[in-house]
């Protein structure tokens, strides 16, 4: 247990050498700025007609459907790329820690950053609404949004994306491969979300299905699949990499 706590502290310190925390601000900011431009281009007519729920739904759709899976691929790559430089993994494992412990701690760090980015997304969206209200934009239910209530479901349902991204970026030094896989699977997920039969075969759909469809049973299935597959693959991959020797 002490090894895990110590590793967590070390990994948090090493975040200063990566761009992961910076991207947790810049990625949500890009989504909010894009939505802000859409609203200002239309002179706020849709806000006045449909209320701020339209604005919230737009940011949520962009974040959960498109940006979040890409962000997960980016964060897992950045966190593990620090280790691939200068044989960092071999150095870390020269200390009295197990490979599987380091593997799990890095997943926990990445998961925390993903949740942090979503919270930043909520905060920036709220600030942008406040800014537009100061400019005279009017609408109903400015700060009434299911964003935070969806966060727990999204965090659980997106576990497979996080674990698969971590496995690729842990195993391969090439940063292009995990990012390319993340982009390809995100696009495939967007195509398969409207399929009632096939979305279950693509974990990149679970976090969106778990929050956006009207059928609560389908939502529950998506979240349960995300939790089950994510935890199962995490345990198996931690065991597998724990048995393998780390090469420079």
User: Where are the domains positioned within the chain?
Assistant: 21-243
- State how far the Cα of 86 lies from the Cα of 84, in Å rounded to an integer: 6
Supply the pLDDT for residue 247.
44
pLDDT tens over the chain, length 248 residues: 556 787 888 778 878 777 888 999 999 999 999 988 888 887 667 787 778 888 888 898 899 888 999 999 999 999 888 776 766 666 666 666 788 888 899 999 999 999 999 999 999 999 999 888 888 888 777 888 888 888 999 999 999 999 999 999 988 888 899 999 999 999 998 888 877 788 999 999 999 999 888 889 999 999 999 999 999 999 999 998 877 654 44
What six digits make up the tokens of 85?
């430089």
Supply the pLDDT for residue 67.
94
Supply the pLDDT for residue 248.
43
Supply the pLDDT for residue 127.
93
Supply the pLDDT for residue 50.
76
What six digits make up the tokens of 196?
């009632």
Contact 101, 95 (CB under 8 A): no
Supply the pLDDT for residue 93.
64
The pTM of the whole model exceeds 0.75: yes
Contacts of 219 (CB under 8 A, 6+ apart): 153, 209, 210, 211, 213
């Amino acid at each position: 247990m002490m090894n895990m706590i110590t590793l967590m502290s070390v990994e948090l310190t090493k975040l200063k050498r990566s761009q992961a925390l910076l991207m947790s601000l810049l990625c949500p900011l890009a989504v909010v700025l894009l939505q802000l431009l859409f609203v200002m281009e239309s002179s706020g007519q849709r806000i006045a007609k449909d209320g701020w729920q339209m604005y919230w739904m737009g940011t949520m759709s962009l974040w959960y459907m498109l940006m979040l899976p890409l962000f997960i691929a980016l964060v897992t790559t950045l966190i593990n790329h620090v280790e691939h430089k200068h044989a960092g993994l071999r150095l870390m494992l020269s200390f009295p820690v197990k490979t599987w412990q380091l593997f799990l701690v890095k997943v926990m760090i990445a998961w925390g950053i993903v949740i942090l980015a979503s919270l930043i997304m909520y905060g920036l969206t709220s600030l942008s609404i406040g800014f537009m209200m100061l400019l005279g934009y009017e609408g109903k239910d400015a700060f009434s949004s299911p964003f935070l209530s969806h966060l727990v479901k999204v965090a659980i349902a997106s576990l497979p994306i996080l674990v698969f991204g971590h496995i690729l970026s842990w195993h391969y030094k090439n940063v292009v491969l995990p990012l390319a896989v993340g982009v390809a699977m995100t696009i495939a997920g967007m195509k398969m979300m409207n399929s009632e039969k096939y979305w279950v075969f693509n974990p990149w759909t679970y976090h969106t299905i778990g929050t956006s469809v009207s059928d609560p049973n389908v939502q529950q299935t998506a979240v349960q699949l995300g939790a089950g597959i994510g935890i199962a693959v995490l345990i198996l991959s931690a065991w597998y990499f724990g048995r393998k020797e780390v090469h420079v």
